[in-house]
Amino acid sequence: MTLVNDAVAPTAPTAGRKFRALTVKHLDELTARAGLSAEQRLATRAVAAVLPFRTNAYVVDELIDWSAAPDDPIYRLVFPQEDMLPAQDVARIADLLRRDAPKAEIDAAARAVRMRLNPHPAGQLQLNVPDSMPGVQHKYEETVLFFPKQGQTCHTYCTYCFRWAQFVGEPDLKMAGDDIDRLRDYLIAHPKVTSVLFTGGDPMIMGESVLRRYIEPLLDLEQIESIRIGTKSLGYWPQKFVTDPDADDMLRLFERVVAAGKNLAFMAHFTHPRELEPAMVREAVRRIRNTGAVIRTQAPLIRSINDRPEDWSAMWRTQTRLGMIPYYMFVERDTGPRDYFAVPLGQAYEIFREAYQGISGLARTVRGPSMSATPGKVCVDGVVELFGQKVFALKFIQCRDPDLVNRPFYAEYDPSAIWLDDLKPAFADAFPFEHLTLGGSAAHDLAASGPSLP
């Protein structure tokens, strides 16, 4: 497949701009633009001392409706909110900022808050990381995740991001690696691995020459059927694939992956329909698809940002029209300011069901609502009444124990439940997965249910 050069010239104002990051030092100016008072701006800075903030000129100039800020969904997607953290924590850090306390004191207060926010959910560090393999996670037998050292940032940070711990300057919380030879050896030693997912951060923050050093050594491994790239770049900086200096080189790299017989899958994060509107996005999608890559779309369901069925049906229809494949609606993970963003599971299912009713069969490739929990990806399949009892119908889309995949199980209906840990088993004394997470070491759990420690 040959790179198509007859690109439609994007008309967006940022078409010719270089990437410009906006960070905490710009936060006061930007939140003032949103109409926040001085005290509100100080509280926002206090939250940003705990959780990461970064955006860019494209998001600020073209995606946010400033006339609707601070209630605009894209604004809420990007900017920290005063009530994302407990009021007493915000007040304490705001007071430190107000009296210009030493940085070490502010950092210590922020770290104390972070450690209460479950920075690495679902047993990521305890259960998923093979011994002496920094930057690698291996939760499911077929798939290995790799966190490239140079890809541990993003074009813009989402306020709900479950990888927030990667971006706060805490070395003990960060997952990153750069030894591609060790990754290759690990894959060869685990021949059941068929897919490698590059994640972060965002791998597409890297230039083509850096990304190539990670991808090319995998292309001659016969066992690898697919290479995936988890990225928000299409929503936050589509110029990466259209007008950036190495855009054409990047697309030629994608072509080489496809020519090597691998499925190159872009796991593209689109959180709100507005991210799909700019002409630059549509041109980037066209160019990526012309390389032979497949674009699959996913995002979590987030209160106050995309918690309306019409948001999801609009996204799925537009994505299908542009040739992308709707893939997942996730449940907000149990980390960071989870309680601020979470939608109860019963409501999440109704939003999914109503949105699903409004799309054609081509878009019904999407799955959800799905919880990426410790034992695996648990899908809420329905809310039903069985034997006179209202229950959640659940199933594993993926699981540490492959034998549990696609087997239905049930939980008592709880209108306030927002995560798997909130649920109680129905018609049984225990959930079928409890042997995976109770009473045993991480090594034992992994050895019993999939990838083994080297």
φ and ψ of 35, to 5 deg = 90, 15
> Hey, how many other C-beta atoms are within 10 angstroms of the C-beta on 396?
24
Per-residue pLDDT of 192-245, as tens digits, reads: 999 999 998 899 999 999 999 999 999 999 999 999 999 999 999 999 999 999
The pLDDT assigned to 133 comes to 79
Q: By three-state DSSP, how is residue 133 classified? A: coil
pLDDT tens readout for residues 11-26 = 444 455 789 999 999 9
Share of the chain above pLDDT 70, in %: 86
Tokens 């068929």, located at residue: 194
Mean pLDDT to the nearest integer, 311-315: 98
104-128: average pLDDT: 75
Identify any residues that bridge with 383 across adjacent strands, giving them in sequence order. Answer: 392
pLDDT of residue 116: 84
Evaluate if residue 258 carries a pLDDT over 50. yes
Cβ distance 410 to 386 under 8 Å? yes
Residue with tokens 């936050």: 236
Query: If you average pLDDT over residues 156-161, what whole number do you get?
Result: 87
Q: Which two tokens stand for residue 188?
A: 């060869």
Mean pLDDT, the chain, as a whole number?
A: 88
Decide if pLDDT at 122 tops 50.
Answer: no
Q: How far apart are CA 377 and CA 194, in angstroms?
A: 18
Given a contact cutoff of 8 angstroms between Cβ atoms, the answer to whether 136 and 130 are in contact is: yes
Burial class (CB in 10 A: 0-12, 13-18, 19+), 97: middle
pLDDT band at 255 (very low <50, low <70, confident <90, very high): very high
pLDDT by residue (tens digit) across 414-451?
999 999 999 999 999 999 999 875 333 333 333 333 33
pLDDT tens track for 171-197: 555 677 889 999 999 999 999 999 999
pLDDT attached to residue 453:
28
**pLDDT value for 450:** 35
pLDDT digits (tens, 9 = 90+) for 398-411: 999 999 999 999 99
Q: Report how far residue 83's alpha carbon sits from residue 100's, in angstroms, rounded to the nearest whole number.
A: 22
d(CA 251, CA 246): 9
Tell me which of 119-128, 305-314, 323-332 is least confident.
119-128
| Cβ contact 110:76 at 8 Å | no
Q: What is the pLDDT of residue 129?
A: 63
Phi and psi at 302, nearest 5°, equal -125, 125
pLDDT value of position 121: 58
Note the pLDDT of residue 36: 97
For residue 3, pLDDT over 50 is answered with: no
10 has a pLDDT exceeding 60: no
Report d(CA 276, CA 315) in Å as an integer: 8
- pLDDT at position 152 is 85
Mean pLDDT within 125-149? 81
Q: Residue 291 pLDDT > 70, yes or no?
A: yes
3-class SS at 235?
helix
How much is the pLDDT for 452? 31
Which pLDDT does position 168 carry in this prediction? Answer: 55
| More confident position, 302 or 115 | 302
Please tell me the predicted confidence (pLDDT) of residue 445: 36
Instruction: Tell me the average pLDDT across 267-295.
Output: 98
pLDDT at 159 over 90: no
User: What's this model's pTM, rounded to 2 decimal places?
Assistant: 0.88
What is the predicted pLDDT for the residue at 15? 54
